[in-house]
Amino acid sequence: MFKKFSASGDISGQTPVKSSVQRSIRTSLLSQWAVDIDTLESFWPKKESITHVKCRDHIAIYTLQGEPLFFQHFDGPFYPTLKLLHKYPFLLPRVGIDRGAIRFLLAGAHMMCPGLTSKGGYLPSADAAIPEGAPVAIFAEGKEHACGIGITKMDTEQIKKINKDIGVESVTYLGDDLWAIQKL
Amino acid sequence: MADPQGQAQEKQVILPLQVLYCGVCSLPVEYCEFGPRFTKCKEWLEKNHPDLYPKYYSEEALQAKLGTLSLEAQSKLEKESAKKEAKADAKADAAQKKKLVLQVTIKRIERNKRKFVTSIHGLEVFDVDLKKAAKLFAQRFATGASVTKNAAGIDEIVVQGDVSQEVFDMIAEANESGGEGGGKGKKGLDVLRGVVVDNIELVEEKKKKG
């Protein structure tokens, strides 16, 4: 999503967010991510209000004092920025890719099933299966921190069974244009 | 009230995780090998965080990193990353050369019979923050100044009035040899620093906005 994104060219406007909308965003974050109120409080204090930055292709980035926190496409699920995910790695469920796939992810490619089901990859077991269309944190074999955030194109059980085509679509990755933006 | 508060304290102590980001490529240190300037990243890490260096680059760490990749795949990876690094270096060199060649053009454009606007373009190459520079000009000359994108998509600063000579002097002052020009009580001039004075060109244009 952020393969080609420049702060000067692709942002159409910044607006403060109404507090009623902020409250609804807070509750959606609480339900969508594995986060509780205290953790939410630590990166988004109750008193502070976020700014809504409108970008092309109906992408909305929400920033707090200039620093992007999370974003959404249309009215879809909220994705935390990678920087935020690094600070709180438990926000999203994990999937892992093997070492050979890392450089493709870091170039913006989507993750194919074999990269997730191979020896170096990681998919959660059946009792913690991730449904289709869920945001996930993509970790790399042998690395401590997430290297990208994606959205599942198939259930994890289906990924294991079918093992073909795109398993996780990459939304943002380390070193993409969103990562480069420190301040909006 | 005491118990939930105690719990909250406990949670907050654990998080957030502090991540060390490489000073060269801005990625977490373990991903430097996928960046375009791996050797520089290694040097940076060794210089700034010598305690962490062995964690990532010691013999066992490198062995463990090989992980599930076969030997040939690994050597292929290394060759490709070396190629990428060479390309990135070449790009950096080309950018440096461009800086030397590129000119800053100060244009004086006629707006009405006796009204002019001054347009300054080319400052971007010298890493000048255009917005701050525009504000500086506006303050100095007590007129309006703005940053606009002209045809060709290059940002330029447009200042109302005929201030071309003054702008030239300001840039010259900010870049006085010895670097003293910025600090002598004229604050804010260091925004304009870095521009090589010989590259500035003053042009007059009779653009009529039909």
- Per-residue pLDDT reduced to its tens digit, A58-72: 889 999 888 899 999
Confidence bin at A20 (pLDDT 50/70/90): very high
Query: Which residues share a beta bridge with B118?
Result: B108, B159
What average pLDDT does the segment B92-108 reach? Answer: 74
Put simply, the answer to whether A175 touches B26 (Cβ < 8 Å) is: yes
What average pLDDT does the segment A35-46 reach? Answer: 86
Whether B156 contacts B120, CB under 8 Å: yes
Mutate to test the interface with B, among A106, A145, A147, A176 (most CBs of B within 10 A): A145
Put simply, the answer to whether A88 touches B34 (Cβ < 8 Å) is: no
Residue in B27, B64, B65 closest to A175 by CB: B27
pLDDT tens digits, one per residue of B66-82: 555 566 667 777 777 77
B 87-146 near A (Cβ less than 8 A): none
Put simply, the answer to whether B26 touches A180 (Cβ < 8 Å) is: yes
Tokens linked to B65: 């990193």
Distance separating alpha carbons of residues A33 and A90, to the nearest angstrom: 9
What average pLDDT does the segment B28-57 reach? Answer: 78
**Report field, pTM of the whole predicted structure over 0.90:** no
Highest mean pLDDT among B13-22, B120-129, B157-166: B157-166
Confidence bin at B40 (pLDDT 50/70/90): confident
Q: Which residues contact A104 (CB under 8 A, 6 or more apart)?
A: none
pLDDT tens digits, one per residue of A74-128: 888 899 998 888 888 888 898 888 888 888 888 888 988 888 888 888 888 888 8
The minimum CA-CA distance between A90 and chain B, rounded to whole Å, is 10
SS (H, E, C) chain B: CHHHHHHHHHHHHHCCCCCCECCCCCCEHHHHHHCCCHHHHHHHHHHHCCCCHHHHHCHHHHHHHHCCCCHHHHHHHHHHHHHHHHHHHHHHHHHHHHHHHCCEEEEEEECCCCCEEEEEECHHHHCCCHHHHHHHHHHHHCCCEEEEECCCCCEEEEEECCCHHHHHHHHHHHCCCCCCCCCCCCCCHHHHCCCCHHHEEEEEECCCCC
